[in-house]
Amino acid sequence: MYKNILVPVLFDEGHDTQASYRAAHALASEGARYSVIHVLEEIPAYASSEIPHDVLEKSQQVAADALKDSAQALPGAKVALISGHAGKTIVDYASENGIDCIVMASHRPGIEDFFLGSTASRVVRHAKCSVHIIR
């Protein structure tokens, strides 16, 4: 099975984070390491300049706290809150950290995914390791 598993999480109702954790645990070899990350999409400068700095900091802290609480489902998991484009950032993190399996939840694709592509489909197409998608 896998020794270094990445579980990217998104905190919305369309993604089953707990199912991702259960799958990661089931796919893990004995002594496996887990990384749980959440990617904060970057806010364009023209928009971020209108948002008070303390509001941005508070939203990042709320996301960091939610990530830390959520990741307790995988004892000993390394936790990271990262800014960037979700699909690219997940693939880059996996490459840079020797990940051998990515386990992530995905929503049911809609028509917009045929034109723009979802984060999960980008990860599946570009990751150099195994990818396990939960629906």
Task: Read off the pLDDT of residues 63-109 as tens digits, 9 standing for 90 and up.
Answer: 999 999 999 999 899 999 999 999 999 999 999 999 999 999 887 66
- So what's the pLDDT on residue 122? 92
105 contacts: CB under 8 Å, gap ≥ 6: 9, 10, 15, 16, 17, 19, 20, 133, 134, 135
Q: How confident is the model at residue 118 (pLDDT cuts 50, 70, 90)?
A: confident
**Crossing angle for the helix pair 86-96 and 119-126, nearest 10 degrees?**
30
In tens, the pLDDT along 5-35 reads 999 998 877 677 999 999 999 999 999 999 9
Question: How many folded domains does the chain comprise?
Answer: 1
pLDDT value at 58 more than 70: yes
> CATH number for the domain including 74?
3.40.50.620
In tens, the pLDDT along 33-46 reads 999 999 998 888 88
57, 18, 54: which is closest to 36 by C-alpha? Answer: 18
Q: Which domain holds residue 64?
A: 2-134
- So what's the pLDDT on residue 1? 92
- So what's the pLDDT on residue 12? 77
